[in-house]
Amino acid sequence: MNYKKIVVAGGGVLGSQIAFQCAYSGFDVTILVREDSSIEEINNKLNKLHDTYINTIENMNKDNIARGIADINDFNKEECIIKTNNALNNIRIETNQAKALEDADLLIESITEVLDIKKEFYEQVSNLLNDKTVIVTNSSTLLPSSMAKYTGREDKFLSMHFANTIWKNNIVEIMGHDKTNEIYYDEISKFAEKINMIPLIAKHEKSGYLLNSMLVPFLLSAMDLLANKVSDVETIDKAWTLGTGAPNGPFQILDIVGLETAKNIVEQYQKVPNILDPLFKKMMLPYNYDEMLRILNEYIEQGKLGKSSGEGFYKYK
């Protein structure tokens, strides 16, 4: 494994974080986006990440550790600041697919969580990639087997799912499919370690992977409470944070994830009961998906996309 050039497709919340973390770790990074109009917004995200890393480094100690930045036992503040400043110079943003993907060692796809959109992207780039290029998807719910055949390299395709705020929550879930060559589990695990991530291997395909198999039902339950007017956002969050000692409630987490991503996930789960047999449908929790989507769409239409936009369920400005 000798990856040098990394391409991240998509500059959303996680796409920009993945790109910055790879650049912070010394890799040559290109962010591939569809439109020139996205470039300014992505540059703003990268500059905010730069400031976040600097602030985190300045305040890092044994009780406040950001493991994606450095292990506290090897922490050197001056070195980490230099790496953060260099990160912006290690990233370029490109709209031309052929130019962006030229000589790429690894393509990390982090675009909209909609299967048809991902399929279309893979079909567009499959003939532009070098034979050596490995592809991973940062999908949070979709199975790699549902996308593999569109990549043109099923043996070199698997999932690499990052958690949000990756400089602190430095885990990455690695999951292949039945045609993934075993060698790439090892390669991607080693790459994860090189960017200060902790690789977590899923041995069998599972929608939701490890983290989201636990997180998504939790968030759906919270949104269902709001959708059915059982309680309000702040009270639901307090029930969780005060009752468990967790730092964030479900709606604070949704703001971090982003409401557009939340909408895509709700839409995916809304489809599930329609393909299940009638007996199992009776066992499904009767989530009020229609009202969840109405609420999310209302926020999104007002530009309240979550923490990244300054307002979601809460205000951050």
Contacts of residue 275, defined as CB under 8 A and 6 or more positions apart, other chains included, come to: none
pLDDT of residue 264: 87
Tokens of 112: 């909209």
CATH 3.40.50.720 placement within the chain: 5-202
Residue 107 sits at φ, ψ, to 5 deg, of: -110, 120
Q: What is the C-alpha separation between 263 and 192, in angstroms, rounded?
A: 29
CA distance 285 to 280: 10
The pLDDT value recorded for residue 208 is 78
The CATH number fitting domain 213-309, selected from 3.20.20.10, 1.10.10.10, 1.10.1040.10, 3.90.1150.10: 1.10.1040.10
The series of mean pLDDT values per 10 residues for the chain, 317 residues long, is 93 95 98 92 96 96 92 92 95 96 97 93 95 94 93 96 93 96 96 97 87 89 97 98 97 94 87 52 70 97 94 93
pLDDT reported for residue 87: 97
For 5-202, CATH number? 3.40.50.720
Residue 156 gets the label, from left (phi > 0), alpha (psi -120 to 50) or beta, of alpha
- Residue 119 burial (CB count, 10 A): 15
Q: Which residues pair with 79 in a beta bridge?
A: none
Give the pLDDT of residue 253.
Answer: 96
Domain with CATH 1.10.1040.10 in the chain: 213-309
**SS3 per-residue string spanning the chain:** CCCCEEEEECCCHHHHHHHHHHHHCCCEEEEECCCHHHHHHHHHHHHHHHHHHHHHHHCCECCECCCCCCCHHHCCHHHHHHHHHHHHHCEEEECCHHHHHCCCCEEEECCCCCHHHHHHHHHHHCCCCCCCCEEEECCCCCCHHHCHHHCCCHHHEEEEEECCCCCCCCEEEEECCCCCCHHHHHHHHHHHHHCCCEEEEECCCCCCCCHHHHHHHHHHHHHHHHHCCCCCHHHHHHHHHHHHCCCCCHHHHHHHHCHHHHHHHHHHHHHHHHHCCHHHHHHCCCCCHHHHHHHHHHHHHCCCCEHHHCECCCECC
Query: Token pair 């299940």 is at which residue?
Result: 276
